Chains A and B, each alone.
Chain A
Amino acid sequence: EAGVVQSPRYKIIEKKQPVAFWCNPISGHNTLYWYLQNLGQGPELLIRYENEEAVDDSQLPKDRFSAERLKGVDSTLKIQPAELGDSAVYLCASSWGTLNNEQFFGPGTRLTVL
């Protein structure tokens, strides 16, 4: 069974440029999560989708971050414009259902903003 796929794995951009990350969850998983992981910290939830609906986006900085999951399968997270402080690893995870079901994580996209 294929795991969670993320691309690109690495991205280097200059500040004020836009950037987008893509995630394809495990087949059949209806819940998709985007997390931010700063160096030396645990992941922090940015947004959670149940199918196409964003059910928790309270931690997403909406002035510069946006996300979509149009057909309830793959998802895109965008930052526009990027700031130096956005340098981090962006993790995507998926699960069947929510609450206490195991979340499976992708390898992440490591973003460096210069």
Chain B
Amino acid sequence: QKEVEQDPGPLSVPEGAIVSLNCTYSNSAFQYFMWYRQYSRKGPELLMYTYSSGNKEDGRFTAQVDKSSKYISLFIRDSQPSDSATYLCAMIPAGGTSYGKLTFGQGTILTVHP
């Protein structure tokens, strides 16, 4: 079983829809949580970064972390065709042998159609 499991999708939504992307994890040492966006033929770019349970909002994006359930989510409001990409959750432990190591989910392909 992988340390980080991500809903594989793919997701296809109409423009303006609310999108929910989710990941679960098994390693309780994960303390830092990120969402990356990766366009086709490009490297991942950081979208959101959180380190505590709760919600963090940035424009149309909201990252949610529930450490007690080992579950994180990314919500996209008013989705746009330009949001079409692969979304990757990623996590870093604060200690142990994997100190500082970024572990990714498998990614969810999102398509927003006009």
Contact = CB atoms under 8 A, between A and B. Distances in A.
- The answer to whether A and B assemble together is yes
A43 B6 CA distance: 13
Given A4-B43, A91-B43, A108-B43, A103 B106 contact: no
Nearest to A97: B100
Contacts, number: 55
Contact of B92 (A33, A91, A93, A100): A100
A8 to B, nearest CB: 13
Contact of A42 (B92, B100, B101, B106): B106
Interface residues of B, number: 24
B107 A107 contact: no
Given A99-B92, A100-B92, A102-B49, A42 B105 contact: yes
B106 to A, nearest CB: 5
Given A100-B92, A108-B41, A108-B42, 16 more contacts: A41-B107, A42-B6, A42-B90, A42-B105, A45-B101, A48-B100, A56-B101, A91-B44, A99-B94, A100-B49, A102-B46, A103-B46, A105-B43, A106-B43, A107-B41, A107-B42
7 contacts: A42-B6, A43-B44, A44-B104, A48-B101, A100-B92, A105-B43, A107-B42
Interface of A: 4, 33, 40-45, 48, 56, 91, 93, 98-100, 102-108, 110
